[in-house]
């Protein structure tokens, strides 16, 4: 199923949604010491447009498409081995994003962003990374387009995944364990909590602080923002074409959800295709039971990081300082999820389920033994849901077509697999009390009203 070529366009779902997505809202945290700063207007206009939702289709720039052609289209495979093992009448397909040079879907947006920033005259990108997949992808993309790259890696992953650090350095990037002594926020957290595992919101806050020290430096974000979700739709656009060549169409599309980009990437184009064909397609976002923002969080205005200088986002969240257990699926350790995915969930357009690490690694082992591919623990969340769907369908006498996104390979996650095989996975549960405590620290919601159309600061700042 490789005969298709790389799509020429990304898809922006906002054009097809029956409601407006609440815009990011500028307001500073009452405890914040920094001056009001909004990093979003610093987005190059091109990236802003990729996420603005004015156009349904956005042409992929030539240099980005050429870069994609190195490994895209990624294979769409039928999981015959898994189907047989489950003895369920489901037809299971998966899109393998683990075949990218850096090993995951993250490279799709990293290349698009590096190209846009370079065109805007930026010479240095900073970022935060959880599992290290995003940092690796950005380092490679920066190398390709001639930019410097600094990656703040959560201390948790920095120690769990030393080879990610090596890879980033091999690609020419600089890696710093977060919280670090390089930034004010890093030093503050180090002094409050010397053994901090770090977290995505801390790593991003550090990257933002560093980016603010120089004109030609910008903070790049690996997931969650609208433009990132748009870039990832190259995955689903390909899958739409590839599914056509099988003459099959998914009844269910499944993907893991961190901040939401790999889910959006595979699911959004099928949302459109289902509408065109007047069919039903269920879109299932799978989260970690240790970071259950959709299934147990609240739809509220919250900070996307701990810098207190970025705008509030209306999203499903566990609270910006929720301490996510140090699970092996570092890419899912984010307290919230994107505004787009959150709004779709609130409107009932997508479903969500959560699985524990033990269940997830079981599913990953089954997949390795039936399909031969070792996947990232993040991706295995999707397999867990696929297995559940297939078994339920069998019980109910249905024969669904299920498609999932295998977001990355797990060849640098063998430490995690070793812990699983050695029965050393820690049981981690999140109590209602912890969630309630964290949600009690959400910013005051009554202040977070949406700016009206005329006073749309975001757009204004781009016009000036
Ligand atoms: C980052 C990552 C995820 C989570 O991705 P989001 O796009 O933020 O939802 C899933 N799988 C892999 C392999 C990742 O690297």
**Which ligand 1 atom lies nearest to the CA of residue 228?**
7
Distance of CA 262 from the midpoint of ligand 1 (Å)? 6
pLDDT at 27: 61
Distance of CA 258 from the midpoint of ligand 1 (Å)? 6
pLDDT at 451: 52
411, pLDDT greater than 60: yes
Residue-wise pLDDT for 319-350, tens only, equals 998 988 888 888 898 899 999 999 999 999 99
Residue-wise pLDDT for 296-322, tens only, equals 999 999 998 877 778 899 999 999 989
Contact 286, 354 (CB under 8 A): yes
Residue nearest to atom 13 of ligand 1 (CA): 408
Range with top average pLDDT, 122-131, 248-257, 441-450: 248-257
pLDDT at 450: 57
Q: Is the CB of 175 under 6 A from ligand 1?
A: no
Distance of CA 448 from the midpoint of ligand 1 (Å)? 29
Residue nearest to atom 7 of ligand 1 (CA): 261
Quote the CA–CA distance of 221 and 109 in Å, as a whole number.
9
31-35, 49-53, 172-176, 428-432: lowest mean pLDDT where? Answer: 31-35
Which residues, in sequence order, are CB contacts of 56 under 8 Å at separation 6+? 11, 12, 15, 16
Quote the CA–CA distance of 262 and 96 in Å, as a whole number.
12
pLDDT at 302: 94
pLDDT at 459: 38
pLDDT at 8: 97
Supply the mean pLDDT for the chain.
91
Distance of CA 381 from the midpoint of ligand 1 (Å)? 11
Quote the CA–CA distance of 335 and 456 in Å, as a whole number.
27
pLDDT: which is higher, 38 or 217: 217
pLDDT at 333: 86
Q: Is the CB of 376 under 6 A from ligand 1?
A: yes
**Which ligand 1 atom lies nearest to the CA of residue 379?**
11
For the chain, what percent of residues have pLDDT higher than 90? 79
Q: Is the CB of 378 under 6 A from ligand 1?
A: yes
294, pLDDT greater than 80: yes
Task: Determine the average pLDDT of the residues in 432-441.
Answer: 95
Distance of CA 100 from the midpoint of ligand 1 (Å)? 13
Q: What is the DSSP string of 196-259?
A: ----HHHHHHHHHHHHTT-TTEEE--SSSSHHHHHHHHHHHHHHHHHHHHHT---SEEEEE-SS
Distance of CA 397 from the midpoint of ligand 1 (Å)? 33
Residue 390 Cα distances to 91, 254, 351, 362, angstroms: 9, 12, 16, 16
Q: What predicted TM-score, i.e. pTM, was given to this entire model?
A: 0.93
Distance of CA 332 from the midpoint of ligand 1 (Å)? 7
pLDDT at 375: 98
Q: Is the CB of 443 under 6 A from ligand 1?
A: no
pLDDT at 307: 76
Q: Is the CB of 133 under 6 A from ligand 1?
A: yes
Q: Is the CB of 100 under 6 A from ligand 1?
A: no
Q: Is the CB of 263 under 6 A from ligand 1?
A: yes
pLDDT at 238: 98
Quote the CA–CA distance of 378 and 98 in Å, as a whole number.
12
Burial 150-179 (b: 16+ CB within 10 A, else e): bbbbbbbbbebbeebbebbeebebebbbbb
Q: Is the CB of 217 under 6 A from ligand 1?
A: no
**Which ligand 1 atom lies nearest to the CA of residue 409?**
13
Residue nearest to atom 1 of ligand 1 (CA): 331
Residue nearest to atom 3 of ligand 1 (CA): 331
pLDDT at 199: 83
Q: Is the CB of 364 under 6 A from ligand 1?
A: no
Q: Is the CB of 360 under 6 A from ligand 1?
A: no
**Which ligand 1 atom lies nearest to the CA of residue 265?**
7
Residue nearest to atom 2 of ligand 1 (CA): 331
Task: Determine the average pLDDT of the residues in 386-404.
Answer: 97
Task: Determine the average pLDDT of the residues in 346-367.
Answer: 97
């Amino acid at each position: 199923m490789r005969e298709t070529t790389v799509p020429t366009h990304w898809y922006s779902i906002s054009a097809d949604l029956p409601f407006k997505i609440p815009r990011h809202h500028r307001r500073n945290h009452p405890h914040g010491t920094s001056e009001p700063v909004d990093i979003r207007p610093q987005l190059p206009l091109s990236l802003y447009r990729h996420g603005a939702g004015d156009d349904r289709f956005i042409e992929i720039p030539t240099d980005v498409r050429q870069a994609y052609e190195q490994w895209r289209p990624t294979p769409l495979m039928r999981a015959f081995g898994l189907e047989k093992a489950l003895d369920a009448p489901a037809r299971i397909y998966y899109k393998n994003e683990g075949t990218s040079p850096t090993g995951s879907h993250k490279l799709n947006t990293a290349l698009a962003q590096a190209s846009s920033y370079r065109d805007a005259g930026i010479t240095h990108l900073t970022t935060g990374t959880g599992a290290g997949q995003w940092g690796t992808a950005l380092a490679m993309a920066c190398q390709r387009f001639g930019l410097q790259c600094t990656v703040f890696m959560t201390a948790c992953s920095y120690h769990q995944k030393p080879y990610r650090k090596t890879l980033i350095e091999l690609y020419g990037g600089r890696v710093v364990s977060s919280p670090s002594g390089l930034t004010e926020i890093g030093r503050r957290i180090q002094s409050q909590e010397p053994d901090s595992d770090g977290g995505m919101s801390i790593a991003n806050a550090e990257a933002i602080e560093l980016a603010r020290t120089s004109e030609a430096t910008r903070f790049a974000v690996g997931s969650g923002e609208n433009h990132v979700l748009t870039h990832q739709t190259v995955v689903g656009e390909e899958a739409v074409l590839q599914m056509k060549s099988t003459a099959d169409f998914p009844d269910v599309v499944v993907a893991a959800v961190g901040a939401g980009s790999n889910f959006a990437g595979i699911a959004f184009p099928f949302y459109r295709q289902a509408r065109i064909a007047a069919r039903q397609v269920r879109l299932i976002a799978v989260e970690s039971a240790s970071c259950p923002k959709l299934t147990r969080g609240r739809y509220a205005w919250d900070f996307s990081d701990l810098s207190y200088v970025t705008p509030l986002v209306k999203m499903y969240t566990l609270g910006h300082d929720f301490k996510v257990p140090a699970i092996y699926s570092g890419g899912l350790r984010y307290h919230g999820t994107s505004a787009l995915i959150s709004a779709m969930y609130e409107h009932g357009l997508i479903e969500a389920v959560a699985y524990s690490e033990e269940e997830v690694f079981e599913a990953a082992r089954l997949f390795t033994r039936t399909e031969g591919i070792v996947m990232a623990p993040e991706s295995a969340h999707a397999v867990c849901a696929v297995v559940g769907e297939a078994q339920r369908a069998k019980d109910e006498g249905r024969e669904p077509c299920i498609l999932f996104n295998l977001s990355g390979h797990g060849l640098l996650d063998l430490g995690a697999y070793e812990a699983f095989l050695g029965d050393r996975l820690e049981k981690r549960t999140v109590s209602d009390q912890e969630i309630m405590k964290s949600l009690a620290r959400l910013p005051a919601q009554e202040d977070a009203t949406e700016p009206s159309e005329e006073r749309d600061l975001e757009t204004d700042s781009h016009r000036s």
